[in-house]
Every structure is written in C-alpha cells, then in structure tokens.
Amino acid sequence: MATTPKLLLTDLAAGIQHIPTNYIRPISDRPNLMEVLPPVGTIPIIDLHGLDGTNHSDIIKQIGQACQRDGFFQIKNHGVPEKVVENMLRIAREFFWLPESERLKNYSDDPSKEVRLSTSFNVRTELVSNWRDFLRLHCYPLERYIDQWPSNPPSFREDVAEYCTSIRRLVLRLLQAISDSLGLDRDYMDKAMRQHGQHMALNYYPPCPEPELTYGLPAHTDCNLITILLQDDVTGLQVLRQGKWVAINSVPNTFIVNLGDQMQVLSNDLYKSVLHRAVVNCKKERISIPTFYCPSPDAIIGPAPELVDEDHPAVYKNFTYSEYYDKFWNKGLATETCLDMFKVSTT
C-alpha cells in the first residue's frame, strides 16, 4: 500500500541516511563549508545599558557605525527578561516535538496566510527545497491574531505573546536610536512605517545527514525594516562580509539585529541590508526565531528627504511596501536582492 508523502521535513527526515534529491543544490550553489571564516570578532556587540541616559551619544555612535559598516550587530542589556527568552525557546521546541497530526492542524502552503506551519520557503514556486520547517505568526496588533495561533502546547499563546510584546518595546527603542544615528527626528522610522506590522517565524532545522549539499535557508536579505533574531546555542547563521561567508556564534543573553531592505532605502544607501544564510549540521537540531518589523502595506517607502541633496541624490524611487513584499515572495530567495528593481534609473 502506497504511503502518504510527508508534508513536513521534520517527519520526512527522521531516520534517513541521504537527503532527497529535491533538497540537493547544484554544485555551484552549495555551502562550501570548509571556506567559511570562523566566528572571531565577526559582528559588534553593543551594550544598550544607558541608551536612554548617560551613554546615549556613545551608543548611538556605535549603532550608526554598525549599521553603516556591517548591517548586523548583537545587543546585550536589551531589557527583555531572561525568563521570557527561555520560555520562547522552550515553547518553540515543544511545538516542533508535537505529534505530526497535531502540528499539521496548522499547515498551509499559502504564503498569504497570517498564521501557518509550512516547510522550506515557498513550496509553490521554488525548484530546490530548503532544510527547514517553520511556523509563521503575525503578532501585532496582538489582539487581532492571538486567537489564530496554535493552542498546543498549552502555554503557547501566553509565552509567545509575552515575548512578542517585549520584542516590540525593544524594536521601538532601536528605531529611535537608528533614526537618531542618521540625524533624523527620533520618531522618523516610526512615522515612516505608518501602522506597524510585526510577524515572526519559529524556524526548525532538523539534523541533516548531508549538510554540505543543502541549506537551511540560502543567501538572502530581509525584505522588511529590521529583524531581531533569537537563536539557540547551535551555530547556523552566516553573514557575507567582504565577499567571504562568516559564521556567527550565538552569545547567551543577546539578540542579533539585522537591517532589512526598507532600512537601506530609507537611509538612501547609508545603511546596509546584508546577505545572510542558514546552514545545517548532521548532529543537532537548531531553532532560530526571527521577529520581522515591517511597514504597513500602504506605507510609501523612499529615501528620507533629509538624506537627499545635490551631492547625494535619491538612489531609490518611492514605492509601497506591498509592492516590494509581493516581488520578494514571487522572486523567492536568491543571491540578488529586490532592491535593484526599485532603484532610480541613471540612464
């Protein structure tokens, strides 16, 4: 009797010795793990203690330098309670350990759904699959979405809501600081987004028997404004720096902050949205939880007028965030970004 194909990688991967052919990347598009640089002093760690007080100007300077040079930085003393973080990682792991039938209650391959469990990136359009399952949640305004979230494990909604609320407070502080570092009004980013959007992914990367042949996620930039990444203690994130892939270790009690494409546009290319990817390993599962902070779909995105003059013309034309988001999902993850599609023509 024929078996029903598994919808989720978690269930497919259990006990296999070789990865299925649809996960194998072309030779020219494999991780080349031996060429990855070690995670020594790779991205700056910024201490946010005193951001609203005595250390304000120094921290703003550090944030500005990191945004301009790296596009990625880590933060400590960020104000999110350690217990909230522990609960978030625990509940994510418990969710992916649920029986297959329970997890599948949340399954959908429709990218437009606000709450969905799926696999890879966009199974409707991609040619090669990614070694990842994920649960995608919209989470602001919280009251609009929380009743759509999974109700199992029993504390899921409570734990995730507390985490989302804490992360939103952190993001708003960071957006003020980034606006300040650009010489803009502190509320510039806040206003540019109109009605804010916040969503998150609970990414689950099972152990992979042949990690050199595939990706958890291939190289991409984030299409949103800013991303706050929580990850467990298993290394997997890599960032492109000066043409080389660099591994980023997880540091306890920190978050990784990376700028998205909308930040690069609003800063008129002063700040960078950087290519990054996720690789997998053969020994341990890995969990990462990015929170994506976004403009509302009708927000008009373009370079801040204060950053445009005769010597610094606008690099990008204005567009709505929904235009950009649609192109991002239709294009799929690729090494080129969508930003080039929205540049001002110089011909």
Tell me the pLDDT tens digit for each residue of 91-113.
999 999 999 999 999 999 888 89
Element (H, E) at 278: strand 276-278
Assign 55 a pLDDT band (cuts: 50, 70, 90): very high
Nearest C-alpha neighbor of 71 from the set 243, 275, 255: 275
250 in Cβ contact with 235 (< 8 Å):
yes
pTM: 0.94
Length of the chain: 347
Question: From the CA atom positions of the chain, what is the Rg in Å?
Answer: 20
Residues contacting 94, CB < 8 A, separation 6+: 153
Question: Given a cut of 50, is residue 268 above it in pLDDT?
Answer: yes
Q: What number is the average pLDDT over the span 112-132?
A: 85
Q: Kindly state the tokens that stand for 78.
A: 């960020």
Q: Kindly state the tokens that stand for 276.
A: 């990054």
Mean pLDDT, the chain, integer:
93
For the ranges 78-82, 180-184, 284-288, 339-343, which has the lowest average pLDDT? Answer: 339-343
| Exposure string over 135-144, b if 16+ CB within 10 A, otherwise e | bbbbbbebee
Angle at the Cα of 257 from the Cα atoms of 300 and 85, rounded to 5 degrees: 115
State how far the alpha carbon of 39 is from the alpha carbons of 196, 246, 247, in Å: 34, 6, 5
Assign 3 a pLDDT band (cuts: 50, 70, 90): low
| Exposure string over 266-294, b if 16+ CB within 10 A, otherwise e | bbbbbbbbbbbbbbbbeeebbbbbbbbbb
Angle at the Cα of 103 from the Cα atoms of 100 and 104, rounded to 5 degrees: 85
Assign 1 a pLDDT band (cuts: 50, 70, 90): very low
Q: In whole angstroms, what is the distance from residue 167 CA to residue 37 CA? A: 30
Partners of 197 in the beta sheet?
A: 294
**By percentage, how much of the chain surpasses pLDDT 70?**
94
Cα-based torsion angle of the residue sequence 262, 263, 267, 268 in order, rounded to the nearest 10 degrees: -40
